[in-house]
Structure 1
Amino acid sequence: MAESLNFDDAPAETAPAGWILTMTGKGEPKWTVEAEPTAPSKPNVLKQSGRATFPLAIKSDTNIRNGFVEVKFKAVSGSEDRAA
């Protein structure tokens, strides 16, 4: 059973409900839902704008067995690790 998730109904400038927003390493990540005109599904995206070694966003109620996850992301800054 396929499921698609987006942030289009989440209030802008807030952290999305149902996600664990954390990091490994050092720093202070800042995760918020933001309007983005280039979003794959308009109008919102999940944006990480803080500074942290490895910021993480984990969907808290996900259980996958014999499946996969596909994510679209856009790196807009950073020099050490621009990955998703």
Structure 2
Amino acid sequence: MPVLVVGVLRGHVLQAAPLGDALPVHPVTEPGAATWETYLPEGRWVDVWSGDELAGGAVTSRDVPIGIIPVYCRAGSWPAMREIFAT
């Protein structure tokens, strides 16, 4: 899977592995991390685990308990994807 470099935050390169055009995935790579920052490209996005809608073109932070990988969906694709992520 290709890795997309999406920006630099405080000297750290932010990378995401896109699953198509609508689903950037930003794996947590630091052991013990409690929160994780992800740059979302321009547009409207939805956190697939919480359903919260977010503005793109900015860095967002979310809690990352064990078992949660930050995944975001373009808001326009969310209605078709929502059931996939329903728990």
TM-score, scaled to structure 1: 0.28
Query: Greater share of helix residues, 1 or 2?
Result: 2
Considering only CA atoms, is the larger Rg found in Structure 1 or Structure 2? 1
TM-score, length-scaled by structure 2: 0.28
Higher fraction of strand: 2
